[in-house]
Structure formats: C-alpha cells, structure tokens
C-alpha cells in the first residue's frame, strides 16, 4: 500500500516520459504486436527492448529464445541460467513487487506470471501505462507449450518460440516413451517443508502433483487441493513409496530428518530409503527444463529405467532457437 | 473488586467442593477424553482392533493389521495425545499461576508477550534456516526452532522482569503494560519476517503461528512431562502463598510470605512452561485464560485446588481440540490454535458479560 502511495509522483513522471516515447513510436504501426494475456485482455506491445521478466520460467524461456539482451530486470525467482541472470537488476519476490522498483527500471514491457502481485503494485503498473502481459500458469504439457509461444509472440520472436516449443514437445514425447516402460507406478509424496515435525504436502492442482505424474508416479495425496499441513497418521495411511522435496543444501541431513519423523518412518519410502531432493525452480518451475526434471525424478524413482533415462537427451537444452 | 475476590466470597458462603472429589472427577474426565482420542485418527483403527493395537492381545489372536496398527498407535497417536494433554496442562496451569500472581483474572502469558517473544524467535529460525547463515546452523535444524522459541520466551520474560523491577520490588502494573509493548514489538518483528519470507516460509510461519501438535513424539512428550512435574512440585510450595497474595502484597508480606521470591519463582516457572509449550506446538491461545476462569467459578479461587485442577481441565480441553483438529479435515490437518480461539474466545466473552456487573465494568 505504501509503495503504491509513494510511487504516485514516480508514476506521473514515467507516464509523461512514456507519452513522449509513444509519440515517436506512433501507435498502430506494423511493428506493434497484440497479445491476449491470462486475464483475457488485449495488450498492445510496441517496444520489447527493455523487458522486465517476472517469474523464473519466463526468464528461462527468454534466455532460451536468445533474448537475454532485452531483459532489463528479473525477479528473485529467476535463478536460471545463472550466467544470464546474475548481473540483471532484481525487483524482488514476484508476489511482493514494489511499484516504484518495477517502474523505476523504465521497462517498455513487463512479462509476469499471473500470480505476480500484490494487487496495488499491479494496479500502479497499469496506471503507468506500461504494457503488462500476465502469462497464464497452466500446469500441463499443453499449458507449457502455450506459455512458450505466448512469450515468443509478445517478444516478436514467433519463429524461435515455435522452434523451442517443438523441442519441448519432443522432450515430452521422449518422456512419454520412458513412462510407458514403468509397470508399477510408485506412490510419491511431495513435501514442501518439514518444520518442527509438521509436514506440508502437495495435494491436487499443484505443480508438484503434475511433476509426479509426468515422472510416472502417483501423488500419494489426493484428499485435498494445494499445499497443506498433513496429519502424521495420514502420511502413514497414504503409504508413499517415495518422498520428493525441494533441495536446500545438505541432502543427506534432510533425508535423515524424514526418516526420523514419526509419520514418514512408518512408510515404504523410509523402508526403501527413496528420497529425491531437487532444485525448486528446476522441479516446479514449469519452464523448458520440465521434461528433463521429470526424467531425473523418474530415473531416481525407477532405478531399472536409469540407463534408458540416460539416453533421453533433452532437445530443449540443446535446441538452437536463437534468431 | 476482582472476579477472584467475588469467587472467594461466593464460595465462602456456598458449598465448597472437597479437593479430592473435584480432582478425581477431573481425572476421570481426562481418562475418558484420552480413551476417546485414542480411537479416532486418519489412519483409522476401529475399536475392534484397538486391544490388539495396544498390545493387550497375544500375538496369535491379533489379526493381520495388528503390526501396522500398533506402530501407528505407539509411534504417532499415543505420543501426540499425551503431548496434547501435557501441553494443555502447561498452558492452563501457567495461565492460572500468572492470574494468581497478578491478582488479575485477565493475565495470560500470551497477553504479556511471552508467547509472542517465543513466536518471533521461532519465526526467525524458519527464515534464517534458508539463508547462508542457516547453512552453518543446519546441524541444529531439528532443534533450532524449539530452542529458539524457548529462548525467545525466556528472554522476553527476563526483559519484562528487568523493566518491571526496581530496587528489588516488582511492579505488576508495569509488568503488564511493558508486556503489551513487548508483544507489539514482537508482532512487528513477525510482520517484518512475514514480509521478508518467500512463499514456502510464509506458509511455514503462518501455519506454525496457528499452532499444531503435528510431529509430536515420545521425546517431546517426555520433555514436556518433565516440565509439568517440576511445575506441579513448585505449585505445592507456592499455592498457599498465592492465596495470601490475594490480600495484597504488603498484607501477604506481613503474614510471612517472601513476596519477591514468590514473584521471581512464579515468573521463571511461567516462562518455562509457556516457552516449552510454544516450542513444542506453536502458539495456542485461550486455554490459559478460559480454563482457570471456568474453574474459579466452579471450585473457587484457592490455588491449592485451582492449580492442579487447571492442569487437569487444560489437558481435557487440548486433547479434545486436538482430536477434532487432526480428524475434521483428514488427511490434511487444521491448526489447533484456530479451534481453541474459535471456542475459547466467545466463551471468554460470555463469562465477561455475565460478570460485567459484578466486576464493575
């Protein structure tokens, strides 16, 4: 709220500044691009030279499309690829953006996940008349391909985006073939955090749920939506064969914490010591690396598939889709 | 005129229940509550399989599910129920003790910022663990949060005590007011942490602040039990002195009570009890204020009966609330603090309204 108030003078300054650039760019020229964003609004984009990327997956796509020169700033969830993001100005966490911080970078286009916020900041950005494209977060294969094409279209890089989307689609095909070799899907529980013995596990309609299914597993929790505190006895009743979590720093220690937990200790996962910890953005980001992340999970869950998983060379990583 | 004094007068001219009978009734109530809690849970052990799960049947008659039932019961459900009972005792008894000490029926460890101090330290540890500094403390991971919560409560209480005491005398009014200020500071600190936290830490802090007995185990049950035993032993020593304190500090002093020593002992004990409870299960409000209040109306204000009876009824209340919390939205879990506040706060309001005329408000 304070940010919104403070930014008022800044907003006027930027608006007048933009007004002058708009005159020179004169709207309606052939160079303008119209995209329909997550809210169904039509956003007209005239200039992509200073693009602010709010969301780890968006940044990854932009870099894969060879557009890192046009990224004028990122948010704190944009951690990959490290070489491309380390020198970019950072506007903070995507749900706690400050209007002044965002507008102060003088972006000509903002690409943001539709979860970006807070509301006041988004309103301030809109009233500053900076083109803002909210990218829908659909946690499906098709949703990911659409996301890549939408970002590409907004950046006037449709050809590169089609190239990347094709590569990612091929990776999903390879992943599908890998999944077909799984005879008995494992029950996997994704645990967001384990604080003071209290576990928070992913239910349906979560990125974690999708990644479990993409890697040929079954989410052990189907009793609720989203990430919630789970009952210790329900952990036992869910009978997970494996625990999947986000890597912090020392994996072995985390694994021990799970095996020592009264609920997890009684599960097949603890008996067989199947524990997978991965980088958060890689695992849950739903960017171009998602098929590779699912492959890595599958290779750990199903050791018999490890050699075939090794043959799976993600095309998205090597595809040359730069203009 | 405080509620306690009214209670005293009312009880003085009416039937005063014998302490043995009252405690026996409360203990039976507690046993019934524990038995009911034992029979429900997300892993579902029907009554027919309960004897086998408890190990009361010989292995041959136990049935195919006995091994799993036994593990769920002994390593999850039983320690959790016992922890709930002990934490409930600690919360209610520390409330009763603090109210006796302050001669104010509204005193509560949560009110004077002891819980908030503990909560702030715990929230710090959640955010800290994800930072570079946290990597060096990672060996402490399992213990950092409870230790931080306890240390936070203790530091808050000591700071309060320092502020409130001058030249060997402790001002209770200053203690209460400084407590309100410290609670506000701690809450501001929690606000800063909430602002700094990312999505996952935010969920962790919010859920933790609402309290939960999830992750209770035998180690937690036994360490809290030890604190409860210490507290009960101290109660025997201080109960009569607290009764005399109702007369006023100088009056109590003239009847031979070492008032300053009584205050010190009580404050350390309250912070120990609250700190341990907060460290085990987060912030659970209203048990410490409702239970002693209710009991004072039922059995009168004598601390010799009030302190152990509060411990008993607090256990009953928390075991019941936890049973609801862990079953009502299974397989997920409802934070218990929501339940105690939802039941306790309106109840507290009703007591206040009924007493309004009597307390002169």
B307 touches B234 (CB < 8 A)? no
How would residue B221 be classed by pLDDT, with cut points 50, 70 and 90? Answer: very high
Q: What would the two tokens of residue A263 be?
A: 């609920």
Whether B292 and A198 have beta carbons less than 8 Å apart is answered as no
* Ramachandran assignment for B63, one of left (phi > 0), alpha (psi -120 to 50 degrees), beta (any other): left
Q: What is the pLDDT of residue B251?
A: 87
Q: Which residue of B has its CA nearest to A224?
A: B332
Cross-chain Cβ contact A198/B214 below 8 Å = yes
CA distances from A108 to A260, B225, B294 (A): 52, 63, 64
- CA B76 to chain centroid, in Å, comes to 21
Q: Which of A107-111, A296-300, B1-5, B204-208 has the lowest mean pLDDT?
A: B1-5
Q: Tell me: the pLDDT tens digits for A173-204?
A: 999 999 999 999 999 999 998 888 889 999 99
Distance from the first to the final alpha carbon of chain B: 10
Crossing angle between the packed helical segments B218-245 and B303-327, to the nearest 10 degrees: 150
Asked if B217 and A250 come within 8 Å (Cβ–Cβ), the reply is: no
pLDDT (average), residues B131-137: 61
- CB contact under 8 Å between B215 and A232, yes or no, is yes
Below-70 pLDDT ranges, chain A = 1-31, 249-252
Rounded CA gap, B301 and B295, in Å?
A: 8
Token code pair at residue B350: 């009703």
CATH topology (fold) of B3-7+18-358: ABC transporter involved in vitamin B12 uptake, BtuC (1.10.3470)
Q: What distance in Å separates the CA atoms of residue A296 and residue A279, rounded to the nearest whole number?
A: 11
- What digits encode the pLDDT tens for the residues B273-306? 998 898 888 889 889 989 998 898 888 889 999 9
Phi-psi region of B74 (alpha: psi -120 to 50; beta: other; left: phi over 0): alpha
The answer to whether A207 and A139 have CB atoms below 8 angstroms apart is yes
Q: In whole angstroms, give the CA distance from residue A42 to residue A231.
A: 45
Q: What is the mean pLDDT of residues B265-277?
A: 88
Q: Rounded to a whole number, what is the largest CA-CA distance in chain A?
A: 68
Is residue B348 exposed (0-12), middle (13-18) or buried (19+ Cβ within 10 Å)? middle
Please say whether the beta carbons of A87 and A105 come within 8 A: no
CA–CA gap between residue A104 and residue A100 (Å, rounded): 5
Domain boundaries defined on chain B = 3-7+18-358
A180-194, B86-100, B133-147, B229-243: the lowest-pLDDT one: B133-147
CATH 3.40.50.1980: which residues of chain A?
2-156, 187-318
Nearest alpha-carbon partner for B107 in B48, B164, B27, B188: B164
User: CA of B253, closest CA in chain A: separation in Å?
Assistant: 44
Q: What is the pLDDT of residue A82?
A: 93
Instruction: Print burial letters for A267-286: b (CB count within 10 Å at least 16), e (below 16).
Output: bebbeeebbbbbebbbbbbb
A211, A246 in Cβ contact below 8 A? no
**Cβ–Cβ < 8 Å for B185, B160:** no
Q: Nearest Cβ partner of B43 from A221, A237, A261? A: A237
Residues of chain B neighbouring A249 (CB-CB closer than 8 A): 135, 138
Interface check A226 vs B, CB under 8 A: no
pTM: 0.79
CATH class of A2-156: alpha beta
CB A188 within 8 A of CB A209: no
Tokens of A284: 């849950």
Q: Which one-letter DSSP state was computed for residue B246?
A: T
In CATH terms, the fold of domain A187-318 is: Rossmann fold (3.40.50)
Name A230's bridge partners. Answer: B332
């Amino acid at each position: 709220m304070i940010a919104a108030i403070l930014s008022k003078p800044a907003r006027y300054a930027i608006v007048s500044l933009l007004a002058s650039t708009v005159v020179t760019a004169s709207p309606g020229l052939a160079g303008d691009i119209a995209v329909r964003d997550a809210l169904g609004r039509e956003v007209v984009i005239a200039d992509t030279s200073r693009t602010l990327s709010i969301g780890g997956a968006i940044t990854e796509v932009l870099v894969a499309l060879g557009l890192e020169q046009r990224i004028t700033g990122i948010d704190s969830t944009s951690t990959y690829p490290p070489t491309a993001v380390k020198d970019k100005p950072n506007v903070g966490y995507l749900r706690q953006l400050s209007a002044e911080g965002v507008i102060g970078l003088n972006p000509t286009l903002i690409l943001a996940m539709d979860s970006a916020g807070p509301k006041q900041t988004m309103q301030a950005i809109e009233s500053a008349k900076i083109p803002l494209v909210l990218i829908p977060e659909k946690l499906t294969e098709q949703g990911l391909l659409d996301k890549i094409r939408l970002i590409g279209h907004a950046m006037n890089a449709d050809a590169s985006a089609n190239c990347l989307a094709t590569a990612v689609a091929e990776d999903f095909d390879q992943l599908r073939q890998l999944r077909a070799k799984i005879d008995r899907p494992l029950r996997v529980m994704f645990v967001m955090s384990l604080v003071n013995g209290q576990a928070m596990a992913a239910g349906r309609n979560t990125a974690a749920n999708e990644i479990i299914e993409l890697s040929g597993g079954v989410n052990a929790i189907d009793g609720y939506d989203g990430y919630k505190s789970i009952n210790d006895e329900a952990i036992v009743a869910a009978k997970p064969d494996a625990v999947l979590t986000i890597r912090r720093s020392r994996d072995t220690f985390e694994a021990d914490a799970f095996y020592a937990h009264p609920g997890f200790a009684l599960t097949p996962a603890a008996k067989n010591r199947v524990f997978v910890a991965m980088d958060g953005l890689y695992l849950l980001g739903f960017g171009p690396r998602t098929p590779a992340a699912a492959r890595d999970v599958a290779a750990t869950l199903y050791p018999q598939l490890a050699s075939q998983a090794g043959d799976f060379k993600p095309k998205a990583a090597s595809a040359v889709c730069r203009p | 005129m405080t509620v306690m004094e009214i209670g005293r007068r009312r009880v003085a001219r009416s039937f005063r229940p014998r302490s043995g009978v009252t405690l026996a009734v409360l203990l039976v109530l507690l046993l019934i509550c524990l038995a009911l809690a034992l029979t429900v849970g997300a892993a579902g052990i029907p009554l027919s399989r309960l004897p086998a799960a408890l190990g009361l049947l010989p292995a041959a008659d136990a049935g195919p599910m006995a091994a799993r039932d036994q593990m769920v019961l002994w390593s999850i459900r039983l320690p959790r129920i016992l922890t709930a009972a002990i934490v409930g005792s600690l919360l209610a008894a520390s409330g009763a003790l603090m109210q006796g000490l302050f001669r104010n029926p509204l005193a509560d460890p949560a009110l004077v910022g002891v819980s908030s101090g503990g909560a702030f330290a715990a929230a710090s540890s959640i955010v800290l663990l994800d930072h570079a500094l946290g990597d060096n403390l990672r060996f402490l991971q399992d213990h950092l949060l409870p230790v931080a919560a306890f240390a936070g409560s203790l530091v808050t209480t000591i700071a309060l005590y320092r502020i409130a005491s001058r030249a060997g005398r402790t001002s209770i009014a200053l203690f209460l007011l400084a407590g309100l200020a410290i609670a506000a500071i701690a809450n501001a600190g929690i606000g800063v942490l909430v602002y700094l936290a990312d999505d996952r830490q935010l969920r962790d802090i919010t859920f933790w602040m609402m309290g939960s007995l999830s992750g209770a185990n035998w180690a937690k049950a036994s360490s809290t039990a030890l604190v409860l035993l210490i507290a009960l032993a101290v109660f025997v020593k201080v109960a009569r002195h607290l009764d005399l304190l109702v007369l006023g500090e100088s009056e109590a002093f003239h009847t031979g009570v070492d008032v300053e020593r009584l205050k010190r002992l009580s404050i350390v004990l309250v912070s120990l009890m609250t700190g341990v409870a907060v460290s085990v299960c987060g912030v659970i409000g209203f048990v410490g204020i409702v239970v002693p209040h209710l009991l004072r109306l039922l059995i009168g204000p004598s601390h010799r009966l009030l302190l152990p009876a509060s411990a008993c009824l607090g256990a009953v209340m928390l075991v019941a609330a936890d049973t609801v919390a862990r079953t009502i939205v299974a397989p997920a879990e409802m934070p218990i603090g929501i339940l105690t506040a939802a039941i306790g706060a309106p109840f507290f309001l009703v007591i206040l309204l009924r007493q309004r005329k009597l307390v002169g408000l």
